[in-house]
Amino acid sequence: MNGNHPMNRLLATLATSAALTVAAATAATGAAAQGAAGAADTLQSPAGPGLCVTGYRGVVVNDICATVSGDQVTFYGQSSPGSLGWTARLVPYRLTASVVGGATLGTITPTVLIDRSATGVGRITATAPCGSNVTASLETTQWGWPPATATITVPVGC
């Protein structure tokens, strides 16, 4: 066993933890800003507070986020390298969204250059029935890698 192996694992865990802490702080800041200033779109996320879920922590770390405003739902994905030794490369993804037990809201299959930082993977915005639950998954579809999936389900309360 390589003497650096436990250290690499520790560094990857710390980097992931830091990224999650930043994501949580960003979500909290966005929620506070909306409450004070009203709804406003930004390039990083849609208007309103979002909920995010982190998936596989291995080759890449996938995050899927959702925002709901009335009957409008937006899902967006983000991916980060899973190790400090990452080399920038193109990675294929599949982002799907649907009403639980119902219609598909959309599917996209982008191939994205993942460098050394968090990178936006894609976005699906759709109208969903009031009172329903909607779900989305972000999957890494790189051949030879273990499945890397992040899934989120949110209610559409209207």
pLDDT tens digits, residue range 8-57? 443 344 343 434 333 333 333 333 333 322 222 222 333 345 799 998 77
Question: Quick one: what percent of the chain has pLDDT higher than 90?
Answer: 53
Beta bridge partners of 106: 97
pLDDT at 144: 83
Structural domain spans, the chain: 5-155
Mean pLDDT value across the chain: 75
pTM equals 0.66
Task: Name the fold adopted by 5-155.
Answer: Immunoglobulin-like (2.60.40)
18 touches 47 (CB < 8 A): no
74 pLDDT above the threshold of 80: yes
pLDDT at 55: 86
pLDDT at 153: 96
Which residues, 6+ apart, have CB-to-CB distance to 92 below 8 Å? Answer: 109, 110, 111, 140, 141, 142
Among 30, 154, 35, smallest CA distance to 99 is for 154
114 touches 89 (CB < 8 A): yes
pLDDT tens digits, residue range 107-120? 999 999 999 889 99
**Token pair for residue 57?**
């922590």
More confident residue, 101 or 37: 101
**Token pair for residue 88?**
């920038």
pLDDT at 49: 53
